[in-house]
Structure 1
């Protein structure tokens, strides 16, 4: 089973310190409360992080067989919830190369064609278990959240640019209750499926997402001033998308996320990421089942971007 590279990488490199604040903004439809909300939680020395098995470690590696629970029809990619023999719940998402559309899922589930193979196998699936381990209670907004303008929040913005995750709709962000520490809520970017391709929506998904050549040749930093840095991210979609009014202007409204970020915050994140060894970065791509040449090329591109942050 193919694990979700981008989420594992982001979690591993951002979970190096803590930012634990009282809620100041709405969480989905839930009322404002005095719950503690967490964007960034310490997990120890970054040099000791295992990017192959991810934040759960080898002992929490998903084990089958999996039991289908329910489908999720939101978003652009087919996804559904499953549980393992121990009762742990996982989010399963089909790879971006699949030609199965969300609207086709019920039909495919009934007929078992191009979705469930012989013996109940589903190929090219990525499994994700969110860090909090609790129930999803809402979404959060890039513009309105308890962490806005903090160094750690800016670090998250930069990470989105580093992995070229251009699909930054608020619906792709999730808030979870922490079942281990009641009263805590975890804020996550829960859908990173538009990563490691171009810096914005292109004419096809094949260029926009998971495209090594596009990722390597995409410009990372567009402007540097004495105090701030602009990333070449997210770029505007092709003009033909103007006929899809909600999508086109939705993308334009996300443009600020990669702009006007304090250089000091970018250097701070770069100093953290620079602690990752080349082997750790390669492990993240190996875990996503890339070929050896792809592993080397993607890892080199990521290291180049980290070096650019350090130089700011």
Structure 2
């Protein structure tokens, strides 16, 4: 047993120290705009970051009594499947990730990345067959007929690996301290009709491991940890280094200062109302929202400083 544990430890260390991720594009040359639109589109001004991409009409009712259907094991957060009185199915994620996932999703959509519907409820009622119990807080995601999930897509093998949108997304996730970059957290969707420029979407879906710190088992939804965690720590060989102590750091090894600028320029276009709506959607109070926004503004300022060559490390 000790020998096997030693071999496992060596394997883990070797994996952590391996070279840059080998990325492979699944298209020849630069993907055309119609393909890029499956991943990202230039957002229209004034997107509603409170109700999100699927609007108020798909939000769960605060007074709804849901019916328990099933629970899902595995992962960081408890997950339930429930139905509402109309028969619509909902996936519910509870615990620390609930707030962070809704807000991170809103920010991603705010700068042009496709997102499925998700909503935050501080509390909800669920009929488990013997009694109605109160649960929460929870992230509620409805199952919609027009959005058909086909399975995960791979970070290292997709049509977008050579695009600024792909690299910019990785930068954005680092800004949110969303470092759980497993392929299983990504989803490929087929849509009944074109929406946001495409009938197929490549989505980073599960972003609950956000707004805390980084690491193999990071704190989620932790403002004090978020305030203390550095963003960009320097430049080595023309590539940006980040304060990421997670499992997937090799994905970040080919990000350049211009990729950081690309993301920060788009975040800078969000209005103060949009920023506050994104955090309001996740149920954050005003004081906590202001602390998050202050730190995010510092990160944006640091990123934009790469345009003038004045960016410093470890901020």
If the length of structure 2 is used for normalisation, what is the TM-score?
0.67
Q: 1:6 maps to what in 2?
A: none
| Residue 172 of structure 2 is aligned to residue 159 of structure 1 | yes
CA contact (8 A) 2:94 2:137 kept: yes
Q: 2:240 maps to what in 1?
A: 229
User: Residue 229 and residue 68 in structure 1: after superposition, are their counterparts in 2 closer, same or farther (change >3 A)?
Assistant: same
Question: Structure 1 CA distance, aligned partners of 2:52 and 2:79?
Answer: 20
Indicate which of 50, 56, 59 corresponds to 1:58: 56
CA contact (8 A) 1:132 1:177 kept: no
Aligned-partner SS, 1:311: helix
Indicate which of 252, 266, 271 corresponds to 1:258: 252
CA contact (8 A) 1:38 1:187 kept: yes
User: Residue 165 and residue 117 in structure 1: after superposition, are their counterparts in 2 closer, same or farther (change >3 A)?
Assistant: farther
Answer with 1 or 2: which has the greater Rg.
Answer: 2
Q: 2:47 maps to what in 1?
A: 49
Aligned-partner SS, 1:136: strand
**1:149-192 residue CA offsets vs partner (Å, 9 max, x unmatched):** 21100111011101101211111111111122499321111211
Structure 2: gaps spanning 5 or more residues:
1-24, 28-33, 99-124, 307-315
Aligned-partner SS, 1:66: strand
Q: 1:102 maps to what in 2?
A: none
| Residue 298 of structure 2 is aligned to residue 304 of structure 1 | yes
Indicate which of 271, 279, 283 corresponds to 1:285: 279
**Alignment size in residue pairs:** 244
Aligned-residue CA RMSD (Å): 3.3
Indicate which of 208, 213, 220 corresponds to 2:231: 220
Give the Å deviation of 1:144: 1.0
CA contact (8 A) 1:230 1:260 kept: no
Give the Å deviation of 1:224: 2.6
- Name whichever of 49-58 and 125-134 sits farther off: 125-134
- Name whichever of 213-222 and 87-96 sits farther off: 87-96
Question: Structure 1 CA distance, aligned partners of 2:83 and 2:60?
Answer: 10
Question: Structure 2 CA distance, aligned partners of 1:173 and 1:97?
Answer: 16
| Residue 119 of structure 2 is aligned to residue 125 of structure 1 | no
Question: Structure 2 CA distance, aligned partners of 1:311 and 1:89?
Answer: 46
Structure 1: gaps spanning 5 or more residues:
1-22, 26-34, 99-111, 237-250
